[in-house]
Amino acid sequence: MSAFWSAWVTVITLAVILGCAWLLFQTRKSEAYKESTSETVGHEYDGIAEYDNPLPRWWFQLFVATVIFGLGYLALYPGLGNFQGLLGWSSHGQWEEEMQHAEEVYKPVFAKYAALSVEDLQKPENQAGLQMGQRMFQNNCSVCHGTGGTGAYGFPNLTDNDWLYGGEPDTIKQTIVNGRNGGMPAWGAVLGEEGVRDVASYVLSLSGREVDQEAAARGETQFQALCTACHGQDGKGMHALGAPNLTDDIWLYGGSFEQVAHTLRQGRNGVMPAQKDLLSDDKIHLIAAYVYSLSQN
């Protein structure tokens, strides 16, 4: 926050509190606010008139205590612009302390399961470790992959044993640690609209879909010239590049003719963020074990 806005917030906040205090005492001292009065406020409802009496003493004192509490709170805690408070407290600092405490408490538990391989964690006696991995998956991964790992449009389904980069335990851990950057180049300018639709027909034919055979034949020639470097001559993809298998009828961005044509025309860019700076190795190990279990079951 800049110095100007810090001063602005400070002045406005203190002015409101002190203004309320001034108004409270001024009305208390005015002639109208004596201990009692027979005067009314000037309106009546259903035969009931409201007297113009002052606040009860306990109520007035409660208002005063609120003002004192507010000033004391702002002196101890952040609230006046850039002033951090005499106690030096911050929500971020409290969060770090709580996280450090949790690390100290649960570190031995994580270490116990980290000593086991991903395959060993699949055994029934280690289900508690998988449940920990499941909870961390839901906290960190479910926003993209869904609470059950079934994915969504543009986010891979982790339960179907169809992997862009491979489904081996070490590969899954590498994906979580370092993230992935997938890129499908746009071919619209190269193929033209007719070429895009021809290649889309051929791509769909690879998974047994009914398509225009003449268009698919034309598309095969272009596919072999432009697409095999990543997807292979048979269209079964390549884990090293994250190129999907086009023969299994499983689609990351939808498998309708128009969706496939759009992918060819405009390209795709997918990012799996790296978690190495957010999660410890032991936590990543448990998440990887849980993700691996999804495709095994």
Residues flagged as binding site: 141, 144-145, 184, 227, 230-231, 272
Residue 150 to residues 27, 73, 90, 141, 260: CA-CA distances in angstroms?
65, 48, 38, 11, 21
Distant-in-sequence, close-in-space partners of 238: CB < 8 Å, separation ≥ 6: 230, 231, 232
Which tokens is 174 given?
Answer: 């590498």
Measured distance CA(183)–CA(128) in Å, rounded: 37
Measured distance CA(201)–CA(212) in Å, rounded: 7
The single-letter DSSP state of residue 253 is: S
Measured distance CA(210)–CA(201) in Å, rounded: 9
Give the residue ranges of the annotated binding site for heme c.
141, 144-145, 184, 227, 230-231, 272
What stretches of the chain show up as alpha helix (H) in DSSP?
3-29, 57-76, 91-114, 127-140, 142-145, 169-178, 188-205, 213-226, 228-231, 257-266, 281-296
Measured distance CA(139)–CA(283) in Å, rounded: 12
Measured distance CA(128)–CA(125) in Å, rounded: 8
Q: Using a CB cutoff of 8 Å and minimum separation of 24, what contacts does 106-112 make?
A: 107/282, 110/280, 110/282, 110/283, 110/286, 111/282
